[in-house]
Amino acid sequence: MAKRYGFHVNSGSCTGCKACQIACKDKNQLPVGILWRRVVEVSGGQWVKRGEAWIDQTFTYYLSVACMHCERPICVGVCPTRALTQREDGIVLIDADRCMGCHYCEWACPYGALQFDKQAGVMTKCDFCYDYLEQGKPPACVSACQMRVLEFGEIHDLRKKYGSVIHIYPFPDTSLTEPSSTLIPHKDSHQTKSDTTQIGNREEI
């Protein structure tokens, strides 16, 4: 069985510094408005009065998100021109020369991985820095993370080490696309059932 790559994110230790986001943008020379890796800021909770005291029950956590190179990639299935393909090692790539700019993949991806380049008129996405992998180097985002929140590796090894990714806000149910990713959730991610939970930087991502 071919080796399949995946990412690991330790959300509990992520400070939201966005070094991964910038490293990705820099390495791939992405134009303004396109972020293959984004840091999502999730916040919620409220101040609660107990007796005479006000207790802070607000929370914020960060999730570094890029293409999950899913095991059942919906983008590959819906693309009419076969511009999107999945390699044997699990990496999902887009061939810009085949893209007709119908945006169907953008509609379907639950991780916002497909990003439209207005100038080129085509979709773009994270390619797992496969050129770096061929040179034996880690992806740019992983190298840049000073908190060592991001890791990459063979997905079966990551799952053995960290367990399967769990369903936390704002990620969808993993059974939809079976993302090749593992995650250590932030300690406050269990609070997201509150109505006040929201993505704080939607405009940015």
**Which residues form the interface with another protein (CB under 8 A)?**
40, 65, 74, 76-83, 97-104, 107-112, 116, 121-122, 169-173, 176-177, 192-193, 195-199, 205
Task: Report the C-alpha gap between 28 and 172 in whole angstroms.
Answer: 27
Closest approach of another protein to the CB of residue 161, in Å: 25
CB of 17 or CB of 78, closer to another protein: 78
CB of 119 or CB of 135, closer to another protein: 119
Task: Write phi, then psi, for 19 (nearest 5 degrees).
Answer: -65, -35
Closest approach of another protein to the CB of residue 82, in Å: 4
CB of 105 or CB of 150, closer to another protein: 105
CB of 161 or CB of 167, closer to another protein: 167
3-state secondary structure of 113: coil
CB of 133 or CB of 199, closer to another protein: 199
- Can you name the residues that pair with 21 across neighbouring β-strands? none
Cis peptide leading into residue 73 (ω within 30°): no
Residues in the chain: 205
Closest approach of another protein to the CB of residue 160, in Å: 26
Task: Write phi, then psi, for 18 (nearest 5 degrees).
Answer: 70, 20
Closest approach of another protein to the CB of residue 59, in Å: 14
The C-alpha angle with vertex 66 and arms to 102 and 68, in degrees rounded to 5, equals 85
If you search the block for the tokens 């293959």, which residue do you land on?
36
CB of 143 or CB of 198, closer to another protein: 198
Closest approach of another protein to the CB of residue 11, in Å: 14
Joined together, the tokens standing for residue 23 give 């490293």
CA distance to 35, 78, 105, 149, 160, per residue, from 20 (Å): 10, 29, 24, 10, 25
Closest approach of another protein to the CB of residue 55, in Å: 22
Q: Give just the sign of the alpha carbon dihedral 27, 28, 31, 35.
A: negative
